[in-house]
Amino acid sequence: LRSIEFVAEGVFDPRGEFDGFDGLEAPMDARHCFVSLHLAATVGSSAPRTDLERLHERAISHNMVLGALRGIPMTSELIVRQA
């Protein structure tokens, strides 16, 4: 493993956060959270791609923080740069 970079992008609907604040009323379709998340891991490694994919899947499925976000539609990708 030579390098690793993580990028998390999300679509957040803030309208629900202000419901009831100073007389504001959020629309019925407003949510109090992220609408979607996309996670990208870029890895620089000479390891076989299959090994890196197994590691990536394990990290996504066993991460405590991501576990708290399981109700949010999420995609992830692994980008491998051979080192």
Give me the pLDDT at residue 51, please: 96
> What's at 15, amino acid-wise?
R
Average of per-residue pLDDT across 25-45:
88
Architecture, CATH, for domain 3-82:
2-Layer Sandwich (3.30)
Domain boundaries, the chain: 3-82
pLDDT digits (tens, 9 = 90+) for 37-72: 999 999 999 999 999 999 999 999 999 988 888 889
Question: Taking a C-beta distance cutoff of 8 angstroms, is the pair 64, 48 a contact?
Answer: no
Q: What single string gives the DSSP state of each residue in 19-79?
A: TTGGG----TT--SSEEEEEEEEEEEE-S-HHHHHHHHHHHHHH-HHHHHTTTS-EEEEEE
Residue 31 pLDDT > 80, yes or no?
A: no
